Amino acid sequence: MALPLEQNDLDPQAHLYAIAERTLPGAGLGGYSLPKDLRFAVSAAEGAHLICTQGRRYIDFVGGAGANILGANHPEVVAAIQAQAAKAIHVFGTLNEAAILLSEKLVAAIPCAEKICFTSTGSEATAYALRIARAFTGKDKVLKFEGAYHGNHDYASFSQFPTAAANYPQATADSGGVPRALQDTMLVAPYNDLEAVEQIVAAEAEDLAAIVVEPVQRVIFPQQGFLAGLRRLADAYGVLLIFDEVVTGFRLAYGGGQEYFGVTPDLASFGKIVGGGGPLGCVAGRAEMLERTNPRNKGRPDYAYINGTLHGNPLAAAAGAATLDVIAQPGFYEHLNQKAETFYAAMQAVLDRHGLPARVTGRASLWQFLFAAEDPKNQLDILAADQASARKLDLALLKRGIYVLPTVRRFFSGVLSEEDLETTLAALDQACQELRA
């Protein structure tokens, strides 16, 4: 039994972690558990800051895993949630006003979207995109890229955290509990390697439903022509092209990676920003494909079942719509991306001044430190980089109140102030000194 806070002599954070050690595996959420001396529990968030239960402020570069492009608790998003909460927090089965209004904004914004269907998370959105692709093509296999993350479902749990090069196209499960029977349905190729992709697609075209790709794989940007090459191969071999835009959607540009790179997929999955910090995702795509989920077609063999208690949740839909209204304003992305890239250059100057063989890799509002001579072009380049030094640098920043997750790609949000950036540069300077020592 936990003691009430006033009856024990632990500080509030130690008290909460004492509970979490008993109730949550590894006292963590999902796949993350920070080292004991650096972990913190958030009691409030304000713009670019997180405030922990001991009152310490962190400058936030995790940004809710990318959902918080406007920082935390943006006033217009809060107002929309409050107004919606007063009307309807949750409805199931019949449509709700907030979801309909958001669907119109999504279809207008996303180049491939003639229709969308809602989900609760990005993982669900990618799982459903694969299901729709299989239902539409009548084929089972899907080609993904080594090191690509498509969420937590069984089909996504192949070759997302490899420790060595795959025996292409054979994918390897990264988690216990993934049925062996699925292994043959997932194929894997190296990112940015069109030749390898073509060999696999040509050999497997008869059974291959789709190629699924992150337009920016974690922090690896596509080389010139890579995404357009995938489009060409997909068309040539009768395979669908799916963009997993859970991160890139509404982040690289209002129209996501599709707009930023000028390549339109058949289907795309979204999460994070579209829910404005609430539980919401969607699959977007060509009408003839999305029609496979039309509930009027239930019972037909090509009907793709999609359903969830929280799909189109009005609270998340209102938060998403309010977020989209702010980021749709002219100049939003130019300002965000330019400010971010100026900051990357300033961080690079600090690394260089200390003579560290590290780079700030990334573009637009996605970035990470990599101890490598070049920007990565695939997952093997990431594996070849010095991960141990990157982890040390990240932990040294965390110690100084800069919230980054060690060796995980991070985000830049529009609400970081000049003072936040100066503080971060000063912390980086000290972290570099610590690393060299």
Ligand X SMILES: Cc1ncc(COP(=O)(O)O)c(C=O)c1O
Catalytic positions: 149, 244, 272
Cβ-contact 272, 122 below 8 angstroms: yes
SS3 content of the chain, % helix, strand, coil (to 5): 45, 15, 40
Closest approach of Cβ 327 to ligand X, in Å? 18
Residue 121 makes contact with ligand X by CB under 6 A: yes
Q: Which residues contact 240 (CB under 8 A, 6 or more apart)?
A: 133, 136, 137, 209, 210, 211, 234, 265, 266, 267, 289
With respect to ligand X, which residue has the nearer C-beta, 220 or 239? 220
Please list every residue from 263 through 302 that binds ligand X, using CB under 6 A. 271
Task: Kindly tell me which of 47 and 151 has the beta carbon lying closer to ligand X.
Answer: 151
Q: Kindly state whether residue 151 participates in binding ligand X, applying the rule CB under 6 A.
A: yes
* Edge-to-edge order in the sheet of strand 240-244: 115-119, 281-285, 267-270, 240-244, 208-213, 141-145, 186-189
Stretch that binds ligand X, among 143-151, 249-257, 343-351, 394-402 (CB under 6 A): 143-151
* CA 148/CA 207 separation, integer angstroms: 21
Helices (H) and strands (E) in the chain, counts: 13, 14
Using rule CB under 6 A, residue 150 touches ligand X: yes
Q: Does 247 bind ligand X (CB under 6 A)?
A: yes
Q: Does 122 bind ligand X (CB under 6 A)?
A: yes
CB of 53 to ligand X, least distance (A): 25
Q: Give me the least distance between CB of 247 and ligand X, in Å please.
A: 4
Closest CA to 318 of 275, 375, 370, 379: 275
Nearer to ligand X, 65 or 283 (CB): 65
Q: Please, which residue, 185 or 269, has the CB nearer to ligand X?
A: 269
149: contact with ligand X by CB under 6 A: yes
Contact residues for 361 (Cβ-Cβ < 8 A; gap 6+): 219, 367, 368, 369, 370, 372, 375, 376
Placement of tokens 């049925």 in the chain = 179
Site track for ligand X across 170-209, x = CB under 6 A: ----------------------------------------
* DSSP-derived pairing of the beta strands 208-213 and 402-403: unpaired
Residues 205-224 that bind ligand X (CB under 6 A): 214
Stretch that binds ligand X, among 119-127, 165-173, 186-194, 421-429 (CB under 6 A): 119-127
Q: How far is CA 256 from CA 251, 355, 417, in A?
A: 6, 36, 25
Nearest distance in Å: CB 110, ligand X: 15
Please pick, from the candidates 72, 117, 212, 246, the single residue that binds ligand X as defined by CB under 6 A.
Answer: 246
Write down the residue that tokens 């022509």 correspond to.
Answer: 225
- The minimum distance between CB 146 and ligand X, in angstroms, equals 14
Strands of the sheet containing 42-46, edge to edge, are 42-46, 49-52, 57-60, 402-403
- Considering the complex, state which of residue 229 and residue 271 has its C-beta at the smaller distance from ligand X: 271
Stretch that binds ligand X, among 109-117, 197-205, 239-247, 345-353 (CB under 6 A): 239-247
Q: Is residue 400 a contact partner of residue 38, using CB atoms and an 8 Å limit?
A: no
Member of 27, 65, 319, 324 binding ligand X (CB under 6 A): 65
Q: How far is residue 198's CA from residue 187's CA, in Å, rounded to a whole number? A: 13
* Closer residue to ligand X in complex, CB, 16/404: 404
Backbone φ and ψ for 404, nearest 5 degrees, come out as -130, 150
Closest separation between CB of residue 124 and ligand X, Å? 7
Handedness of CA 225, 228, 230, 234 (dihedral sign): negative
Residues that bind ligand X (CB under 6 A): 65, 121-123, 126, 149-151, 214, 244, 246-247, 271
